Amino acid sequence: HESIADNGTSLIVRSQHKIARINRAIGATYQSDGQYVIDCRLVQSLPTVTFIIAGQAIRV
């Protein structure tokens, strides 16, 4: 399963189905430009999302 993560921004590109599942889990809102947003004031209450990159667990 291929993805793109830009470590210089908040951009993560993945299949629409997988990204939608993650965004539902964290309560993000879909925008008409194709991006999801979440209120930064909620960061302390968000669950940890773990990505596996080259065999390494990256927790966000």
Q: What is the pLDDT of residues 37-58, one digit of tens each?
A: 999 899 899 988 888 888 889 8
- Is-above-0.85 flag for pTM? no
**Closest Cα to residue 4, out of 23, 26, 19?**
19
Q: Where are the beta strands (DSSP E) in 1-60?
A: 4-5, 12-13, 29-30, 36-37, 50-53, 56-59
**Closest Cα to residue 1, out of 12, 15, 19, 11?**
15
CATH class of 4-59: mainly beta
Q: What is the pLDDT of residues 5-39, one digit of tens each?
A: 777 887 777 778 888 888 888 899 999 998 889 99
Token pair, residue 38, equals 């979440």
Residue 29, beta-bridge partner list: 37
